[in-house]
A and B are shown apart, each in its own frame.
Chain A
Amino acid sequence: MTGQILAVEILNWDWVGRNLDTVGGRLVEHIVLTLVPVALGFLFAFPLALAAIRWPRLYAPLLGFTGFLFTIPSLALFVLMIPFTGLSVTTAIVPLTLYTLLILVRNTVEGLNAVPRDVREAAEAMGYTPLRQLFRVELPLALPVIIAGLRIATVTTIGLVTITAVIGQGGLGFFFITGFTRSFPTALTVGLTLSVALAVIADLGLLGVQRVMTPWQREAA
């Protein structure tokens, strides 16, 4: 008997059924709030990484700066943004994007630097132009490390998005706020389960993408 009561308290299926639309909407919001910063982050990180490879002296300061960004507590950064961008989506997206930079820059640089020297020299000797060499030889070989970075960035962002609820842009984070303020465990359970599931699916999905894009590694066994 007690068990049943407890179960009802943790997850009220009735509520879930009645609020399917809201739950779905928040989930989509969460996905968007994850995808946009990771995509934007990669868009910035990629040229930064190329610059760091071209001019190696840039690398240390770049890592220092993006690492510094990463250490700012997320709540503080969101609040700092409010005077400039209010409670808009931008207020959530800018900090989330900044957080991805450290990992994405670092993994892109490390991945490209790990391309064996003899392979790069062979490409050069065959007559690749620098740009073509980057896209046809170096990037494909750096892909596993770059995707590893994307996986970490994505999973981290999925977690951080729950915090943006405090500035009104929370995705699944809203369920945490609802759950706490109204002492309503079902909301907490839904928020927690879906954000964890989202993280796991995103991680496995990216791993799958990597598998498909690096067929030469599959047979490596």
Chain B
Amino acid sequence: MITFDGVTKRFPGGMTAVDDLDLEVPEGQVVVFVGPSGCGKTTTLRMVNRMIEPTDGRISIAGDDIMAVSAPALRRGIGYVIQQIGLFPHRTIGENIATVPQLLGWDGQRTTDRVQELADVVGLPDDVLDRYPHQLSGGQRQRVGVARALAVDPPVMLMDEPFGAVDPIVRSRLQDEFLRLQDDVRKTILFVTHDIDEAIKMGDRIAIFSEGGVLEQYDTPENILAEPANDFVSDFLGSERGLKRLALIPASNVEAEAGPVVSRDDRLDSAAETARRYGTDWVVVLDTDGGVVGWIAADQLAGDGTVADLSPRPFRVLVRADDSLRAALNAMVISHTGVAVRVSDDSRYEGVLTRAALTGELK
């Protein structure tokens, strides 16, 4: 746990970068600092490992004042991913990752094993370990930055825009991998970004700062999106706040409606009756195992014969319980039926999600 207690930083010249900050970072959680450029995110991070000394206030880690040990000793116990990556250009990737183990005097074999292990953990191919940083891609360099910070398995990590220098696709992959990793290692992490979407995705909790280092709101992503504390926060969340909220809610939260369901052996007139009963101009066709075959427009359900005589059109997207409501909304928008079909993990039909149900969930 990291505790900020009345922490203020004023730089010479009177500019206040962090203003009387009280904040607790719970053990094993990711707390994301987010806010516009210059709002004091990096400054706050650097006060934790004493690269910047606070003007006022106290910071402690697991109850111990950070001033109790020497700055270099403190820093060796805290993983730090610097905003500009900052790899050592004169050392190979392996040597870069081995930096802190070497500072702590680990023996050669233990260091080599650990470097190897970390390369696997962050997804670096073995053959890059002997290369120099300038011979790597941007994404690979960011992985090295993370591996170097993880080297001695520190319980606390400070990550300053760790995925800032790569394109959105690589960033999203690095984020996913990092979240999977964090599921295993459960470190206490301070994560800085100026991208609200990254904050929502990565954070167990989010701290939103405004210019002058003022903490505007500190809460879970869900709560912040549901109830922004003030205009600054809602402006910062942007115009797609509703969509961002939907992205955080699993599709299982909304009760699926039974929907107009027919099977292949159903006679066409009874299928048409099903559509009429539900007030839809389409029906969902299921096979005998309850799997989703597709849908048929109600105006095709005329004449003798059975549903099997017609060819149902497939749903392009099916939603599962752990997909988000945003994915469900997407399914609604791209389907002619205007609903999202939810299926179980073994692909059996569970029901349909309607827009009314989504709106209800956001209330």
Contact = CB atoms under 8 A, between A and B. Distances in A.
Contacts of A206: none
A69 B83 CA distance: 44
Interface string B57-99: 0000000000000001111110010111111111110000001
Main secondary structure of the interface of A (DSSP, over half): helix
Contact of A127 (B75, B84, B91, B134): B75
Contacts of B335: none
Contacts of A123: 88
A129 B72 contact: yes
B135 interface: yes
Given A121-B51, A219-B132, A126 B90 contact: no
Given A118-B82, A121-B82, A219-B132, A126 B89 contact: no
Interface in A87-139: 116, 118-119, 121-129, 132, 137
A55 interface: no
A124 B46 CA distance: 11
A140 interface: yes
B51 A126 contact: no
Interface residues of B, number: 28
Nearest to A137: B88
Nearest to B92: A216
Contacts of A60: none
Contact of A125 (B49, B90, B134, B135): B49
Given A121-B51, A125-B51, A140 B99 contact: no
> Most chain-A CB neighbours within 10 Å: which of B88, B103, B134, B158?
B88
A132 B83 CA distance: 23
A127 B90 contact: no
Interface in A176-221: 214, 216, 219-220
A141 B82 CA distance: 19
A122 B88 contact: yes
Contacts of B86: 116, 118-119, 121-122, 125
A126 B75 contact: yes
B76 A126 contact: yes
B100 interface: yes
A214 B135 CA distance: 15
B82 A127 contact: no
A124 B103 contact: no
Nearest to B72: A127
A122 B134 contact: no
A122 B89 contact: no
Contact of A119 (B72, B74, B88, B100): B88
Given A125-B75, A126-B76, A128-B103, A118 B84 contact: yes
A149 B166 CA distance: 37
A127 B88 contact: no
A66 B87 CA distance: 35
Interface string B25-50: 00000000000000000000000010
A12 B121 CA distance: 73
Given A122-B82, A128-B103, 4 more contacts: A127-B100, A137-B88, A216-B90, A216-B132
Interface of B: 49, 51, 72-77, 80, 82-92, 99-100, 103, 132, 134-135, 148, 158
16 contacts: A122-B82, A122-B86, A124-B75, A126-B99, A126-B100, A126-B148, A127-B72, A127-B75, A127-B76, A128-B103, A214-B90, A216-B89, A216-B92, A216-B132, A216-B134, A219-B132
| Among all A-B residue pairs, the 3 with the closest Cβ atoms | A122-B86, A127-B76, A127-B75
